[in-house]
Amino acid sequence: MEQVIAKKYARALFNAAKENGNIEKYYDELKGILNMLKNKQIYKIITNRGIYLKQKMNFVDAILEGYDREVINFLKLIISKHRESIFDEIFNEYNKLYMDYKGIINAILISAHPLDSDTLERIKNRLESNFNKKVYINSTVDESILGGLKILIGNKVIDGSIKGKLDTLLKNLVTAS
């Protein structure tokens, strides 16, 4: 339910940003707000229901001085609807829209051993060619895959790991029995 709500808020702000030509600016400002909300004192003030709404709105105006008025009003709307606890989800949804708009995808590359920069660059180029988008790779090491690579892009998994192949083989053997 919260993800559906987060998507609606993110899409509304993204559409407004698109109309105003401020997609990048709103993205940067939302990222700034997300970082501010990681401060426990700020988060406590914004989420505390014992503090009057007017006081919270004044606080928001003070900490977001210099931010775009639309972004400030967006945060105030979230606070007035008691949705501040899902701000990170709203940001994540806005981020997805932003990345799609910019033609960027994030990939998580899992290998059994650290990969050198040349190998990472070749994989990145291959993914960019296949997806026709700019690819950012976050490389991690997981020795349990034994060898090969596993790539996660959104909800798509490209499993070329030895562990994945062994699991598939075992599944096929069990099914054939």
Select from 72, 100, 128 the last residue of a domain. Answer: 100
Instruction: Kindly state whether residues 84 and 147 are assigned to the same domain.
Output: no
Q: Please tell me the total count of domains within the chain.
A: 2
pLDDT of residue 177: 66
pLDDT of residue 106: 92
Identify the sign of the CA torsion 163, 169, 173, 176.
positive
Nearest to 64 by CA among 8, 26, 11, 24: 26
CATH number at residue 111: 3.40.30
Instruction: Kindly state whether residues 80 and 110 are assigned to the same domain.
Output: no
For every one of its 177 residues, what pLDDT tens digit does the chain have, with 9 covering 90 and above? 788 999 999 999 999 999 999 999 999 999 999 999 999 999 999 999 999 999 999 999 999 999 999 999 999 999 999 999 999 999 999 999 999 999 999 999 999 899 999 999 999 999 999 989 999 999 999 998 888 899 999 888 888 888 888 888 888 888 876
144 burial level (CB within 10 Å; 0-12, 13-18, 19+): exposed
Q: What is the residue-wise DSSP string for 107-163?
A: EEEEESSPPPHHHHHHHHHHHHHHHTSEEEEEEEE-GGG-SSEEEEETTEEEE--HH
Domain extent for 1: 1-100
Q: Which residues 6+ apart lie within 8 Å of 160 measured at CB?
A: 148, 149, 150, 151
Amino acid at 116: D
CB 108 within 8 A of CB 138: yes
Instruction: Kindly state whether residues 13 and 69 are assigned to the same domain.
Output: yes
pLDDT of residue 15: 96
CB 75 within 8 A of CB 91: no
User: What pTM was estimated for this model as a whole?
Assistant: 0.77
Nearest to 139 by CA among 128, 160, 123, 155: 123
CATH number at residue 2: 1.10.520.20
Edge to edge, what strands does the sheet with 134-141 contain?
Answer: 134-141, 104-111, 149-153, 156-159
